Structure 1
């Protein structure tokens, strides 16, 4: 069952990427004032297929809990440091950053 669930997740991931490409194609056609009805019908068919895959995934117990707005805002999404993890941190880096921030807060201009 776990293999089936992973296969469904793989199909969902592939279908999402394909849908993004189709949406991009539709935008380009609209911007060129071309008829995009065929591409739009194809996108709607992909959405129906996506709903079927999501229903199958949920039926197999692979339902993923979606976060609400408050939970998403509370997530720690800071970017990882670009410094190598084995290098010693530069103590002056943080002080320089703080002093620049306080000078800007006081209204001083840097030259």
Structure 2
């Protein structure tokens, strides 16, 4: 049911004119996205639904510095563990809805 609600919210936001967020900007600049603005826009929409602004800015840094993601994942800090849980959910949802 949670995934259906996310899909419904994502569908409601598709096509809405919005400024590019930090995840979308980082995605578009990355080698992996190779200029796929539609994919990067979808990933940003999922980020908007699952990550707050601070978490989005941190996640965007992973495009430039993948090692930073590894540092956060292995960290013992509670704040990093909470972020990583949200980030994994974001990644799963982005993969599911944007592929």
- The question of a shared fold, defined as TM-score above 0.5 by the shorter chain, is answered with no
Q: Which entry has the higher C-alpha Rg, 1 or 2?
A: 1
More helix by share: 2
Structure 1-normalised TM-score? 0.29
